[in-house]
Structure 1
Amino acid sequence: MNHQDLINACASDWAEYTKHSFVQQLASGELEHNAFLHYLKQDFLFLKQYTRAYALAIYKARTLAEMRMALPSVQALLESEISHHVSYCADWGISEAQMEAEPETFGTVAYTRFVLDTGMSGDVIDLYVALAPCSIGYATIGAQLLASPTTKFQGNPYANWITMYGGEEFQESVQTGIKQLDTLLKDVDLSSERGQRLCHIFKTATRMEVAFWQQSLDDT
């Protein structure tokens, strides 16, 4: 099996995630300012836990090659992506200290602890599958919005978000991750109990992504 099998197994949830109202409002520039600020703060808290999960992948790794596979993601998150997020949030008037002090919402707690619990109770493949909807989904969304003729760029306060996730650097990094995931999945039979468990993990994490978008619309 491969990553596309995981997506196909939860097609309706995946569509709800990648075409969510939050995403559509980003594309049109009509998203409420406070909803986006809420999202930015929670995404910072999410990224901290996401980094812990990739660090857990090193601990759970069975081979030196698997340990090396996880290290670039940990380094990129700590040295680049989180720093970029902090700089981006500063442009919106939110400091790192403010984000550190922000309480995690129930949705953020549920999603990140699901990923960490999946990694702790399962193996490294379980963990990577739980992590996958975030990166693959954002790459899908970024590419879709960047290519869509209906996406507004001129005067859209969220245009930089779209160009960042649709841009070459992010897209290439996700493709690298997809290749690594497919390597881990290649010997798993989709119809087996193991394959179906991985589909369930991916589906649950995808549903958590839907809830993550929705909470920013509901809590503001």
Structure 2
Amino acid sequence: MDLVPLYFRSVISIADVVGNNRCVVCGAAGDVFCQSHFLFFQENTDFSSDKHWWFWYYSSKAREIILDIKKHKQFRVAYRLGQYMGLYLKNTEASQYFQHITYVPHHSKEFKQTMFSMPFLIAMGISDIMEKPIIHLFVKTKTHSQHILSADKRRNNLKNVYNINRKVPKVGGPVLIVDDIVTTGSTLKSLKNLAVGYGIKKLYTITLARTPKWSDVI
């Protein structure tokens, strides 16, 4: 993973140079989003009692934007969204909650196919704003798909899919786990259990969006 941040930053820098500074929603002037759309999405930001933040509800427009980011590998947009989320966290008491940032990883084969990771790009944006280091805490040991599964099947499908990255020096926490979307919370729950078993006692999670299926399992 050592070269991945350098690769991502190189792509983002190029995108900054050639970017047209237009809102990805309406085309009006703005860095990724125009002021009106950014304020609209920001109003959906929330913090729940179980230490999970989300920036958007997974509405039709949010879904359209997220799918477009992934389909067209919009590094700059994903990174800027991470920065916006970092600014929100920095302006709240959340800035003192955690010391390290990690993310939901892709399997190495999946990453080689796409060379794109939205959770990692979001984590980079948050890290740069909050000046908190990213640690590559988890590894994905099996490829799997969760998109069409029920909540129970999602939880069963996650058995032995992720593991702790033993190459990372042990940290005591607190740690913020970053993902792009939370549906049932089964992935984040699985990672939190791994982290707790590894000795990290305080964990927080943040996602760009949450769906109506989201439960309180995390």
Which protein has the bigger helix share? 1
Which protein has the bigger strand share? 2
TM (normalized to structure 2)? 0.27
TM (normalized to structure 1)? 0.27
| Structure showing greater relative contact order (alpha-carbon pairs closer than 8 Å, 6 or more residues apart) | 1
